[in-house]
Chains A and B, each alone.
Chain A
Amino acid sequence: MLSNNFMNKTMKKLYNSKFKLMALVLSLFVSTFSFAQTVAVSGKLTGEDGAAIPGATVLEKGTSNGTVTDQEGKYSIQVSSGSATLVFSFIGYKTMEVGVNNRTVIDAALSTDITSLQEVVVTGYSSERKADIVTAISQVSAINTIAVPQGDIGQSLQGRVAGVQVTTSGQPGAASQVRIRGFGSLTNNAPLYVIDGVPTFDNTQINPYDIESQTILKDAGAASIYGARAAAGVIVITTKHGKYDGKTNVTLDFNTGVTLPGEGQKNLNPQQQADKVYEALRNSGAKNANGKPYGSDLNNPTLPDYILVGDPKTGARYGNVMSGDPRIATALANYNIDPSKPPLVQVIAANKAGTDWYKAMTRNAPVTRVSLGLSGGNDRAHYYSNFSYYDQQGIAINQFLKRLSLRLNSEFKPMKGVRVGENLLLTYRSNPFIAGGSGQQGTGNGSGATSDENALNLAYRMPTIIPVHDVNGNWAGTQAPGFNNPGNPVANQTRYNKDYNQSVFNQVFGNLFIEIDPIKHLTLRSSFGGSLDGYHFLTYTQRTYENAENTASNNLTEGSGYQMNYTFTNTIRYDNKFGNHSIRAIGGYEAIKNGVGRTLQGVGLNPYSQDPNYISLTNTAASTHQLYSAPLSPYTYASFFGKLDYNWSDKYYVSGSIRRDGSSLFGPQNRYGVFPSVSGAWRISTESFMSGVTWVQDLKIRGGYGTLGNSNAILSSNPSNQYTLYQGSPSTGYDINGTNGASNAIGFTPLQVGNPAGKWETSSTANIGIDGTFLEGTLDVIFEVWQRKTNNLLYNPAFLNTGGVLPRNPFLNVGAMTNQGIDLQIIKRIKINYDWSMTVDANISPFKNKITAIAPGQNYFEPSGGLVRNLQLVRNAVGQPMSSFYGYKVIGYFKDATDVASSPIQDGAGPGRFKFANTTGSGTVGPNDRVFMGSPIPKFTYGVNINVKYKNFFLIGFLYGSYGNKIMNFSKWYTDFYSSFSDAALSANTLQSFSLESGADNSHAKTPVIESASNFSTNTQSNSWYMESGSYARLKNLQVGYDIPTSMLSRAKLSHVKVYVQAINLFTITKYTGKDPELVGNVDTTRGIDVGNYPATRQYMVGINIGF
């Protein structure tokens, strides 16, 4: 009801504003006649120190009549009358208004204004002036949060803040991976989000338009007030609110555009492929071309007219068929693609021009976002509400993210000193992922690394000679013999339409709060918040006929669940000033319970009808049912915390905080942890000896040390870590009665051995920084040096198999890791003249990560995600950064038999194969010769944001870069070796494969000899040949727009109208040869392996932003 009233009011104002706009136009018209008598005024503008201010703006108030001061700070202007008012403004100075009062000379001294220092920054459980901050904190503004259209706000942090690394997949809806100051844990480095006081690890639902500010708490001094879950950093998000000011604001944002898929990896065209395949056969000693699709002459491959003609009688599938062959007519007469009535009889013509599979499975994908915000208030209440619709279609067919969200924030003052209110977000989200794709369905997460054999991986494994469709317009594929096993990705994605691939997530997120000021300076606050989620997903995988390895059934998988999380926070805050002493204290108690809920999932095969209106688990065959249901594993925290900030005369600052956390994640003996921090600062600029240093406006040296607890590893992996448990399900059963299925006996098997002695990880951070504002407030510099050490790191090391191979190994407090780095941010504001101004905001964050311990007797581990196609690519080892690439160093290709004979012994050695470095010098190349080949963790990341204004035009450019990270370009394993999946597509790299022909020049060979062998010296070992530099710089955003002058709009009650055009990911500078160097993955121990990532591609947008 409340919002209805608000709506009515707003509509009335909208209605009124129409007339006001007309009035404005009229008045402008009239004003051109009113320059009857003008008065000349001149003068000089200086700073407080008497120095001239050139380039300052001088404006007659209420008009667009203005000028700019010259080199000596002098100006002259004709004003409309002697009673006019002049407005002097210049960046870094306080704007000054002076009445002309019939004077002709007006000199003025502007006082410096370091407004940015007065900004209020929301921090842990409170907010403080930027000037008073003594810890490592960065903020991202609302405008930067919405700069690039994206499904989740994590991406808005990319490149904006020093010390924060963000990677995002191009798949709409995939969550970004956000890492603050490196990696403290081997298991979970996701930061904690605190949204309007409610802690959560899921930021994917929040609408970017609702965000007032995002504050990143980077060091212990800032974050330890959040104790237990803050070790990976905290991002405090504040949503927009109305004001007790009697005003009503309406904003409408609309933008729309298109994402272009770009070009896929270059594969061989059909004739090149045919030539290469037969070259491989010849190189491998093949004696004939039996079963191969390019004719019978090994030395002279030819393209057939038809790559598949089925035989209705025997079910044989003929390749190599030429036009006019009578078998074609027979097949067409008996054409059959129904796998339930074998044999399949298809006719597929060769696409001699070549199919671009990437192009076929992608599209120009539209993006639209609309946001309508309302805010207002009077002296007793204020409110903010926003309705937002976001629709981003993915470049892959049928993949998309749609999100509807409604935000309702309000606050009331029922009596003096009492405020009550709520922040509430309701979200509906539909976000299916690509076939065989990445991440988890249902949870709205999707940040997982792309899996092998996803639709994008298949797109570059399909030979180009295969058309998308057969001669009858049905799907074509590797049912045609002789092309190995990739599945048709266009068919896969097309079948995965909105009826057959659904993922819906609903959430209510928010809190209710009350604040009471019982006496002056004292505030009590109580907040109860949390989230209630529900999800449902459905995937219906259909029986296929076009592939070599067909799906044998119509498989319906459907599931749903709910989850509830709550946080109850009570704080008491005291804020006062006694003379030069400023004191602020906060204390509180917090109870958190997360993960209450259940999941339910079922599988059923072969429903009677394919009609999506009919399909349900109910009408699939009972014998095919699989059922899963389980309660979630909830966990709780109970915590006390306190923080004291003191400063003397805004000069000397001391701050300390302490938090005691207890958690259900640990057994009773080690359940509680206490985490203190201390910080201090000296604001040198306020000292008297600095008063003569005019180029320094503000300078503060600050430092802090503290410890943080961390339980994220077991929170995300196994909240029941302390218990020894067994599992029992049909899949741990056994057909003891020999019934072949009817009465399977359920067996119990060990699930985990518990570790009741588990305790908090402790991460200690030290931080020293300088905040400076220089040159009349036009230059801000923030420089910090930090170090972070994690001890008692929770890790689940491998155990001897003689104790069983359990699904879950217990987390023990065994590991240790260090991170150190530098955060540097420089903001330069340049005002060239009245029309031109520019801001450059650049940051860079070099850092180093090193594992210093894993477990007793274990100095490395190889995570299962780093094992792809039997190749162990990644090793996490003591002394190395996490997820380092490990393998043999390729020193070239064996030139010939003589080279093989004269080189160290190497299994499978042969001309044109990899020659590995015998680093041990043992004479035989073996596992001990492997070396670390680099790390996927960048040496530094950087961002440059440029904001240029010319009159009412603006240009925003945002460049993000990553330097020094390595990528394992594993896509080459699939397409650059004949033997990986023989006869599937080969990449254009193989045009320069090592040639065995005598006299061939192999000095520029890009790939090993093309052949059928698969051994130690060909494609079975991780080696440096796959390694590529993953450094890149990408223009994430380029935006040009026009702000319709406010002087015009204000009379129409339009506060602003902005129109713009925008290009996202306009260009990327990189040497990486894969599709996209920005690889996503939420498992930090196996990063940077490219098996066909969903790329971030170019996007063009137009938009308008209107404020009433």
Chain B
Amino acid sequence: MILTGLWLASCSDSFLNIPAKGNLSTAQLLNQSGVEALLIGAYSALKANGPSDGPGSWSGNATNWVYGSVCGQETFKGSNSGDQSDINPLSTFTAPATNSYLAAKWGSVYDGVNRCNLVLKTLPQVPKGLISDADIARITGEARFLRAFFHLEAYKVFHNVPYVDENVKDINVPNDKDVMPMIIADFDAAYQALPETMPAVGRANKWAAYAFEGKCLMYQNNFTAALPILTTVINSGKTAGGNKYALLANFRDCFDAGHDNNAEAVFAINASVNDGSGAANADAELVLNFPYGGNSYVTCCGFNTPTEDMANSYRLTAGGLPILDGSFNSTANQLSDVTWAKGKAVSSVPRDAAPIDPRIDWTMGRTGVPFLDWGKYTGPAWVRSFIDDGPYTPKKYDALASTFGTYTDASSWTAGYEAVNMYLMRFADVLLLAAECEVEAGSLTNAMNYVNMVRARQQNSKGWVKISNDPSKTDWQAYLDPSVASIPAGNYNIQQYAVADGTFGAKASARKAVHMERKLELCLEGHRFFDLVRWGEIFTNNANGNPDCLQSAFLYNTSLSGAAALGTTFQFQTGKSEYWPIPQAQIDLSLGKLKQNPGY
């Protein structure tokens, strides 16, 4: 027995050496497939699902439905006011640095940054010859592109942020520098390194990097430098799959999973479903943003509901153009659904007969209009809490009933996990950015042409929402098949701008038209608040004092809906509220190296 003990003691060191099981060590990654998989891991961070990469994160999203859309007052948070209540103070600009959504956003972007740096740190450790120089250049370019993207997200939301690259030894990086030059440098390096067509359609290519570089310059108001870049992208750009950038014929197709990675997709989060991940690769970010109830298959959870101000913005003048003086919210112009919010019973809401932009009916659920192929949107039954949410619901990214199960994943707690890609840069976005630059450059006709490219698509009646006149056919069948007797769901008299109407005759009105077009085209795509900050259209949008700005939208909306959650006082403070506070926990951990944003 004693001998056994001694024998055991002598071999105890080997007895006590137990390798980690079930996971990979660094040594196993030092080859091409290892590094490629790390790069996929960096792309995976776009899903912003948090460290476990499980489904369910809607708080750290890169599509910015909270920071861009809700805070930009193009949507309400939705649901009832107590549900995900931490969004309320974000959208009223009263969020403290302890807000849980801010912590999630910060964590998501820097987790992405870390994964990119891991690629860049591991690559040089791979023995020479195992990866071709071309692949090294490509991998480096993709990693730098993604790193720049994540930093740009941090910049947009928090502004004064640390820049972390692969050479950083001490992760406690101060936020004492303007990081935009470094973001631009990374995008430019990616532009230089990346090929035009990529081995997979979901990868960032040369043109995606260049488009983002152009956009970054616009955050510096450097329109002069941005314009040639965006022009080159428009003229020469191609998708990673090799398609020349172009607008799709039908607006709806842009937001259908069956058309992912189309000619309009400069860069998008590629989502997938039923892939063995338990919906972890689906677009968890948008999973709450379906109508609540109605005839839909997905009944979760009534978030991100478009506001009345946003809906009214789609009102057209008799000439088929947007109303640029802000009077779209006037009693004469507002949509008929708005009267529902004002207290009328739904049954008494008349059909909206005045001209309206056809994009509205692909963007939001509106009374009496078919909701994709789910049946007609009937109002209250589709809304979770109209006192908080208003009469509209989000529609843009919603899956079709007919693709339920194919482009949706029902393995998690709700059926709203979708395969549709979420745009981070759409060609229409590029066109409108270029239009902005052209305005500032004084080349107003070029600007008008870009805007008209976007508007022209909407004149295509094939792309309009239809109501079937044939009792044997559904509304959706009428949309798909022009031979079915039908009428358009709205009075879609949309027109292009012309020299004659004079809008593009002066910088100020041209600028307003471009800004308005972005609002209409990119609604629910998470850009609105950042655009408004960039333009300074918080309290007044231009010298005329036209009430189409953040404040006017807030005040108008809360006079109808959402006041219970948001109050009726616009609490934005210039010089402070443009950016959110840096999460307090991060400042504490940095032992003071991270400085809080001004005003907090």
Contacts and interface: CB of A to CB of B under 8 A. Distances in A.
A744 B276 contact: yes
Contact of B22 (A316, A570, A630, A926): A630
B80 A1012 contact: yes
A1019 B300 CA distance: 22
A159 to B, nearest CB: 39
B201 A1020 contact: no
Interface string A707-730: 000000000000110011111111
A802 B381 contact: no
Contacts of B28: 726
A907 B273 CA distance: 42
Interface in B6-25: 8-9, 12-13, 15-25
For the side of the interface on B, what is the size category? 35 or more
B506 to A, nearest CB: 42
Contacts of B44: 732-734, 747, 749
Contact of A736 (B1, B43, B346): B43
Given A285-B563, A553-B410, A634-B21, A290 B345 contact: yes
A555 B415 CA distance: 12
Given A290-B386, A730-B281, A738 B261 contact: yes
Interface stretch (A59-67, A490-498, A932-940, A974-982): A974-982
B267 to A, nearest CB: 12
A589 B49 CA distance: 48
A740 B16 contact: no
Interface in B260-282: 260-261, 270-278, 280-281
B295 interface: yes
Contacts of B173: 802
A655 B407 CA distance: 71
B26 A591 contact: no
B584 interface: yes
B488 interface: no
Contact of A805 (B29, B47, B110, B261): B110
B9 A589 contact: yes
A810 interface: no
Contacts of B201: 737-738
Contact of A342 (B20, B295, B565): B295
Contacts of B563: 284-285
A804 B115 contact: yes
B567 A1015 contact: yes
Interface in B85-128: 85-86, 88-89, 94, 96-98, 100, 106-108, 110-111, 113-115, 118
Interface stretch (A43-51, A620-628, A840-848, A944-952): A620-628
Nearest to A592: B15
A824 interface: no
A907 B51 CA distance: 33
A758 to B, nearest CB: 14
Interface string A567-603: 0101010000000000000001101010000000001
B221 interface: no
A852 interface: no
Contacts of A728: 24, 37, 41
Interface stretch (B211-219, B309-317, B586-594): B586-594
B192 interface: no
Interface string B69-81: 0000000000011
Contacts of B415: 552-553
Interface stretch (B327-335, B372-380, B511-519, B531-539): B372-380
B564 A285 contact: yes
Contact of B25 (A603, A624, A723, A799): A723
Contacts of B299: 548-550
Contacts of A980: 80, 82-83
B293 interface: yes
A314 B376 contact: yes
Interface in A824-875: 857-858, 862, 867, 869-870, 872
Interface stretch (A17-25, A635-643, A962-970): A635-643
Contact of A800 (B274, B344, B586): B586
Contacts of A603: 278, 411
A317 interface: yes
A807 B295 CA distance: 39
Nearest to A298: B343
Nearest to B60: A805
Contact of A481 (B26, B106, B293, B388): B293
Contacts of A907: 89, 94
B280 A1019 contact: no
Contacts of B421: 738
A632 interface: yes
A1014 B565 CA distance: 5
B565 to A, nearest CB: 6
Given A730-B277, A802-B113, A1020-B86, A719 B18 contact: yes
B297 interface: yes
A1016 B82 CA distance: 11
Contact of B40 (A481, A725, A748, A803): A748
A209 B467 CA distance: 74
For A589, A731, A798, the residue with the greatest tally of chain B CB atoms inside 10 Å of its CB is: A731
B292 interface: yes
Contacts of A750: 114-115, 118
Nearest to B566: A1015
B378 A735 contact: no
B273 A741 contact: yes
Given A288-B344, A735-B270, A740-B419, A800 B278 contact: no
Contacts of B297: 342, 552
Contact of B23 (A288, A589, A727, A926): A727
Given A570-B4, A802-B172, A741 B88 contact: no
A734 B43 contact: yes
B500 interface: no
Contacts of B260: 738, 740
Contact of B385 (A285, A593, A738, A1012): A1012
B41 A316 contact: no
B293 A804 contact: no
B274 A804 contact: no
A591 B8 contact: yes
A291 B380 contact: yes
A184 interface: no
Contacts of A630: 21-22
Given A631-B22, A733-B281, A977 B82 contact: yes
Contacts of A285: 563-564
A316 B419 contact: no
A822 B202 CA distance: 65
Contacts of B200: 736-738, 745
Contact of A549 (B113, B301, B564, B565): B301
B340 interface: yes
Nearest to B418: A740
Given A806-B51, A1011-B564, A548 B277 contact: no
B365 to A, nearest CB: 14
For B85, B106, B278, the residue with the greatest tally of chain A CB atoms inside 10 Å of its CB is: B85
A716 to B, nearest CB: 16
A37 interface: no
Interface in B166-196: 168, 171-173
A8 to B, nearest CB: 37
B320 interface: no
12 contacts: A290-B380, A524-B1, A552-B415, A572-B1, A626-B277, A749-B41, A750-B114, A802-B113, A802-B172, A1014-B83, A1015-B85, A1015-B567
Given A314-B378, A858-B588, A980-B80, 20 more contacts: A284-B564, A296-B345, A314-B376, A485-B301, A589-B8, A593-B15, A631-B22, A638-B12, A640-B9, A726-B24, A726-B26, A735-B271, A738-B200, A740-B407, A747-B41, A807-B51, A981-B83, A983-B80, A1014-B565, A1015-B81
Which 8 pairs of residues, A with B, have the shortest CB-CB distance? Answer: A804-B114, A315-B295, A287-B343, A747-B40, A552-B415, A731-B280, A291-B380, A747-B41
